[in-house]
Structure 1
Amino acid sequence: MFKRICNIVSAAIHEGLDQLEDPKMMLNHTIRNMEDELHKARHAIVKQQTLAASFERNKEEAQALEDKRRRQAEQAFNAGEENLARKALGEMKHYEARASYYSEQAEIAFVQVAELKEQVALLERRYQELKDRKQALIARANIADVKERIVTALHSIDSESFFREFQRLEDRILEKEIRAKTAASSCFDEMSYARFEYADEVEKELERMRSEKIS
């Protein structure tokens, strides 16, 4: 029973995760299953211990009755009552056989209890290992989900169209830069031409300003 449980749990951990859509849900489901199995196993141990104790009590009761009939048979024999002694000896053998049967059953039950305890201890260790690994596995599952979404997003993007759009924006910016540079250059050239064209008149104005200043 417990070997089957451990095999199922091991298969779920090492093989089942790759076949499920939600590994985190599988982890929680596996832990809940193990908790249920542990509860059942512990209950089975209690029942087996109770059964073993019952066999042990029945054995002791049969041994007590066996001893009692032996004494009664001896007393009847010593009193010359062989028929009573014979009857007591028959019952003594009956209780002797019952004591032997219950002794064997008690021994088997105690061995089974020990085996169950070993298997439950193994299952508890597996359960604790899974609980300890649960958070790390969930973290890995989360990272895998994020990476998968990123890859999906990257594949869904038309990289060529995005490149063309950025190229178009870059061309527009370059065009504005050229227009701004051309405008600045035109303004400079126009002012330079104005200074050259009106140079004589400028000199006359300067001369007038000097005369006014002297007077």
Structure 2
Amino acid sequence: MAAQSIMGRISQLIRANINEAIDSAEDPRLMLDQMVRDYTASISEAENAVATTIGNLRLLESDSAEAAKSAAEWQVKAQAASAKADQMRAKSPTEADKFDNLARIAIGKQIAYENDVKSFGPMIAEQTQVTEQLKQGVAQMRSKLEELRGKRDELVARGKVAEARGRVQDAVRSVDVLDPTSEIARFEEKIRREEARVKGREELQASTLDAQFEQLTADARDDEIESRLAAMKSGSR
């Protein structure tokens, strides 16, 4: 019951901290970080409770061991006194009775300490059970903390991705508003006209060059005709 009570208070504290963080959160990442801190602090509180419980258990165990040790010591004393009484019985009954009384006192002490050991038994058993429950609870809390940290990292990463996608969408909407394709088309048309003008100049230059070569060929042919004609004339003479 003690373990359940302690863990119950810690669980209520955790839920209260988480609910408060969720209600007041503006930045999810800050909220998740705060949740991790709160849960870590709760684990620390639980660990302190476990440490206190373990300390109490060890005290009970120490007291029980001390009582058992004292019971054994008084048993030895009772046995020694009884043996001494047996030795003195024949010589001095009075002294023998004295040692028997000491033996009785020692046995009484032994019984008292044995009863203490018996009374410690149930308390140690209960405290041991509580301690084990608390240890298991803390182990589960540590596991949950790792799960919470992993979930925090995952959600933060997803948040960053969503934020990046939002920026991309905003950029796309801005592009749609500006519609740069019309400007590109205008530049493309300008370049096409320039390409056509350059091509026209190339064709013009080529046609002029061909005409020059054709003129050279015609001049050469005329020269040959005149030369042959002159040769014919000089041969006929």
3-state SS of the aligned residue for 1:124?
A: helix
Q: RMSD between aligned alpha carbons?
A: 4.7
- In structure 2, what residue type is equivalent to 1:208? Q
| 2:212 aligned to which of 192, 205, 210 | 205
1:125-168 CA deviation, whole Å, 9 max, x = no partner? Answer: 2323333443332121112123345556767x696675234542
**Given the alignment of the two structures, is residue 38 of structure 1 paired with residue 31 of structure 2, yes or no?**
no
> Hey, what's the Cα distance between the residues in 2 that align with 1:203 and 1:44?
115
Q: In the TM superposition, what are the counterparts of 1:142-181 in structure 2 within 5 Å?
A: 142-151=153-162, 163-168=173-178, 169-181=180-192
Partner of 2:233: none
For structure 2, which runs of at least 5 residues remain unmatched after alignment? 22-30, 224-237
Aligned residues: 204
| 1:119 aligned to which of 113, 130, 138 | 130
**Conserved? CA contact 2:71–2:111, under 8 Å:** yes
Q: Is the alpha carbon distance of 1:107 and 1:121 closer, same or farther for their aligned partners in structure 2, counting shifts above 3 Å?
A: same
Query: Normalized against structure 1, the TM-score is what?
Result: 0.62
**Given the alignment of the two structures, is residue 25 of structure 1 paired with residue 26 of structure 2, yes or no?**
no
> Hey, what's the Cα distance between the residues in 2 that align with 1:49 and 1:204?
123
**Given the alignment of the two structures, is residue 49 of structure 1 paired with residue 68 of structure 2, yes or no?**
no
Q: Is the alpha carbon distance of 1:161 and 1:143 closer, same or farther for their aligned partners in structure 2, counting shifts above 3 Å?
A: closer
Query: Normalized against structure 2, the TM-score is what?
Result: 0.58
**Structure index of larger Rg:** 2
Identity %, equivalent residues: 9
1:45-104 CA deviation, whole Å, 9 max, x = no partner? Answer: 1111122234445556777888969x98xx99xx999xxx8xx98xx6x88877666544
Answer with 32-41 or 10-19: which moved more: 10-19
- In structure 1, what residue type is equivalent to 2:218? S
1:9-41 CA deviation, whole Å, 9 max, x = no partner? Answer: 444566754543322223332332333223222
> Hey, what's the Cα distance between the residues in 1 that align with 2:212 and 2:93?
172
Q: Is the alpha carbon distance of 1:161 and 1:57 closer, same or farther for their aligned partners in structure 2, counting shifts above 3 Å?
A: closer
> Hey, what's the Cα distance between the residues in 2 that align with 1:203 and 1:63?
139
- In structure 1, what residue type is equivalent to 2:50? L
> Hey, what's the Cα distance between the residues in 2 that align with 1:107 and 1:49?
12
